Structure 1
């Protein structure tokens, strides 16, 4: 399953310096069991996102923990268009789920 992890940090020079040093030291790579599909960082260096793939939510938590002392993180599951089209095709055929 794919997950989008967004990151944001305040313009705190100490935190930014530590984040840069940690990234250069580790490559910012996730733990074994999580595949980094891609990473994009905003031009102002204030935020960005990683596209990750794993079936192990605990490994995502491990990766988030490695960076949560320096930045605010959010992780959400995401679907590719083909996966979304499959879901929408089933919903369109069967109609929306009944309200609870």
Structure 2
């Protein structure tokens, strides 16, 4: 499954500095078992988006835990257009 993760932090410069330092140390990569499809960060550095793919909710929770002390995370399952089209083709008559 694919998940859109939205992250943002309050304008706390110390917290933001720690998040940046952690990202630079780790590359912000998820644990094995999660594929990072893409990542985008807002130009104002206040928030961003990760598109992740996994079938392991425990690994997804592990990744969230690694960052939840520094930023607020929202994780939402998503479908791409071909997947949505397949679903709609089955249910919409």
TM class, shorter-chain normalised? over 0.9
Mapped to 2, the partners of 1:86 and 1:17 lie a distance apart of: 43
Computed over aligned residues only, the root mean square deviation of the Cα atoms, in angstroms, reads 0.5
Unaligned runs of 5+ in 2: none
Shift of 1:92: 1.1
Mapped to 2, the partners of 1:92 and 1:56 lie a distance apart of: 30
Write out the 4+ residue segments of structure 1 that deviate beyond 4 Å after TM superposition. none
Mapped to 2, the partners of 1:8 and 1:87 lie a distance apart of: 31
Unaligned runs of 5+ in 1: 94-100
What is the TM-score normalised by the length of structure 1? 0.91
Structure 1 residues 31-46: aligned runs within 5 Å: 31-46=31-46
1:66 to 2:34 alignment: no
Shift of 1:38: 0.4
Give 3-state SS (helix, strand or coil) of 2:85's partner. helix
User: Aligned pair count?
Assistant: 93
1:33-62 deviation line (CA, Å, top 9, x unaligned): 000000000000000110000000110100
Structure 1 residues 1-100: aligned runs within 5 Å: 1-93=1-93
Mapped to 2, the partners of 1:69 and 1:9 lie a distance apart of: 10
Q: Rg larger in 1 or in 2? A: 1
Mapped to 1, the partners of 2:19 and 2:11 lie a distance apart of: 12
